[in-house]
Structure 1
Amino acid sequence: MARTSIHLHRLLRNASIICVGVLRSLTHTQQSKKASPMSENLPNKAVFQSYIWTCAKYDFSPYEKRIIYRLIEFAQRWLEGIKIKDHMHKIEPSDCGVNITMPVASILRDEDDHNYAKAKAAFTSLSKKGAEYEDDKIWFYTAIIEHPKIEKGTGIATFHVYDPIWRAALDFTKGFKKYELITAMKFKSVYAMRFYELMSGQTQPLFVSLEGSDGLRERFCLQGKYERVNDFKRYVIDAAKKELDESSPYSFVAKEEKEGK
């Protein structure tokens, strides 16, 4: 099977994103855009995301991803020593992690959620997923969140985060990505979210393989799907580009290249 790899970088204007592949590759060009009126009217604060999360391999729904975004936001406020004073947002240490309290509305896209159906599905699904770690000395697996609860009268959600997940949100030893939270939260596609994270703040070329253990296919958990490069480009890369065109201050284009070109 032909192998594809992607070389990404971000500049202020007309940045070339050159893909260097073993057999064939994709070339991306980043395009600057003006911020949308929505972004001008909302406080679009920057968050710092550990590269552990940026490069992690997972298959989340957009609503699960927004729970993670809020978790990362809470972790940053915790790290900065910012006290959350209102009853709708809380970080409470436990014996084995932290308990998070936040409004259900904070994971929605200005949409109605009748009887909290979307929120309940997202919290339930995410609570069934976990994180695995292994090195020369240890192996462990832990749930990402547990015991999610929604108070229907107030629209407040609470859930528990185990210590390894919380520490991963605070671990910047592998590097970090800085991005605008409101921009990230309003994407509909998980692929748009992940490409936005990868390119945000990028000033040097970033090489990301399509195939292999650290490639985009495994990061996005798309093994066995979109095996043809054209299909991967259509359903993943082009889908992400469409949303970045509409909602992000920058976007990109892509084309396929043969090896040696």
Structure 2
Amino acid sequence: MEKHITKKATQHNHLVNAKFDMSTYEMRLFISLLGRLSKADTEFSECQIHLTDFMDKASGGKTYQIIKDSCVSLSKKVIQIESLVEGNSGGMRKKFIVLPLMAMVAYQEGEATITAQFNNKLKPYLLNLAGNFTQAEIKQLFRLKSFYSYRLYWLLKQHQAFGQRYIEIDELREMLNLREKYERFQDFKLKVINAAKKELKSSDMAFTYDLVKKGRKVEGIRFYFATSASLKPSPDIDSGQQQLFPETESESAAQIVAVEVPGKVPPKEILAKLKLSSLQINRILQRVPADQIYKTAYDINITLLDNQNLNPAAFSYSEFERRYFPKE
């Protein structure tokens, strides 16, 4: 079925934070499929993807083999999604699900299009989303050449209302499927973080970052970016875009702090939205670093969205107690 590309792509946040990796061609094909989903869709249908949507012109008769390799590889991709759910005996338990990405991918040599269809098990993460989702402009996604830039774009976009996001290094490696690649942090920083920073500087998710250390070890990264409210409508894909943040030689804390994050929500306000009492809020502010408050509050909100029968205040405080106030 011939379907026109929409202006925006929408994914459930579980999919945004899932564990998977892709090549550049696979990523572009995936974006092309996302762009053909609409709000009215209740089922996935076979879509015709033009070759020009996801690959450059190839020479030497290699086009067919490139397409075949990309399609076969994409058909083998699985998405690993992890979440917190309420256990049978009370308390929250981790749950993971592994889903094949595609139902089918097909191509006939000499044709101008590929036929592809998402696996129907992905419907809860891509169709009829009523909440807990992130949207991105398709034309912004098509600008990206690196898969790591693509993943970081979505991960930061998810937190655009806050103007920042903290991610632990081990967690980021897990999401990018980089447990056994770029094992030296300097390589990871250069090939993944700095490369994405350079590519995203002309997008609506330009960012700077600060390394969060425990002793000499880098524990996590705090990303800073503009909030949704501060952004102007993005230009057409062929026109340039003003850089949101100036390029710096180093990501030192002093330089990062100098970048004002528009619309940053204070930790106290974040905690108040969880319906916590003043006493509980003050205890958390005294004992828990701001980075961890943002991360924990995000995890709590995701769980509350998936388990709407939970008492927000009781569950929220129990999570902070479990993580930061161990019983003596």
The normalised TM-score by structure 1 is 0.64
Which of the numbers 145, 148, 168 marks the counterpart of 1:188?
Answer: 145
State yes or no: 1:53 paired with 2:11. Answer: no
Cα deviation for residue 117 of structure 1 reads: 3.3
Which of the numbers 34, 37, 62 marks the counterpart of 1:72?
Answer: 34
Match of 1:128 in 2: 76
- Conserved? CA contact 1:47–1:181, under 8 Å: yes
* Higher RCO (CA-CA < 8 Å; seq separation 6+): 1
Give, in whole Å, the separation in 2 of the partners of 1:132 and 1:249. 27
Match of 2:118 in 1: 161
Cα deviation for residue 218 of structure 1 reads: 0.3
> RMSD of the TM alignment (CA)?
3.2
Cα deviation for residue 229 of structure 1 reads: 2.7
Residues matched between the structures, number: 198
Match of 2:257 in 1: none
Give, in whole Å, the separation in 2 of the partners of 1:244 and 1:133. 25
Give, in whole Å, the separation in 2 of the partners of 1:227 and 1:174. 36
Three-state SS of the structure 2 residue aligned to 1:49 is: strand
Cα deviation for residue 230 of structure 1 reads: 2.3
Give, in whole Å, the separation in 1 of the partners of 2:11 and 2:101. 16
State yes or no: 1:220 paired with 2:164. Answer: no
- Conserved? CA contact 2:19–2:176, under 8 Å: yes
Give, in whole Å, the separation in 1 of the partners of 2:154 and 2:98. 25
Residues 154 and 173 of structure 1: CA distance in aligned 2, closer, same or farther (over 3 Å): same
Give, in whole Å, the separation in 1 of the partners of 2:100 and 2:179. 23
Cα deviation for residue 133 of structure 1 reads: 6.1
Three-state SS of the structure 2 residue aligned to 1:102 is: strand
The normalised TM-score by structure 2 is 0.52
Identity %: 27
- Conserved? CA contact 1:145–1:162, under 8 Å: yes
State yes or no: 1:112 paired with 2:68. Answer: no
Which of the numbers 244, 250, 253 marks the counterpart of 2:200?
Answer: 244
Deviations along 1:24-70, one digit per CA (max 9) or x if unpaired, are xxxxxxxxxxxxxxxxxxx9923222212210100111211122222
- Conserved? CA contact 1:100–1:160, under 8 Å: yes
- Conserved? CA contact 1:51–1:174, under 8 Å: no
* Bigger strand fraction: 1
Match of 1:256 in 2: 211
Cα deviation for residue 195 of structure 1 reads: 1.3
Structure 1 residues without counterparts, runs of 5 or longer: 1-42, 82-90
Give, in whole Å, the separation in 2 of the partners of 1:227 and 1:217. 10
Q: Which amino acid aligns with 1:145?
A: M
Deviations along 1:197-242, one digit per CA (max 9) or x if unpaired, are 122360213332221xxx1000001102223332221111001011
- Conserved? CA contact 2:10–2:135, under 8 Å: yes
* Bigger helix fraction: 2
Residues 191 and 242 of structure 1: CA distance in aligned 2, closer, same or farther (over 3 Å): same
- Conserved? CA contact 1:210–1:217, under 8 Å: yes
Deviations along 1:76-96, one digit per CA (max 9) or x if unpaired, are x1x236xxxxxxxxx9x6xxx
Structure 2 residues without counterparts, runs of 5 or longer: 89-94, 216-252, 254-328
- Conserved? CA contact 1:177–1:198, under 8 Å: no
Match of 1:25 in 2: none
How do residues 74-113 of structure 1 correspond to structure 2 at under 5 angstroms? 74-75=36-37, 77=38, 79-80=39-40, 98-108=45-55, 111-113=56-58
Q: Give the number of the structure whose alpha-carbon radius of gyration is greater.
A: 2
Cα deviation for residue 174 of structure 1 reads: 6.2
Which of the numbers 145, 165, 168 marks the counterpart of 1:209?
Answer: 168
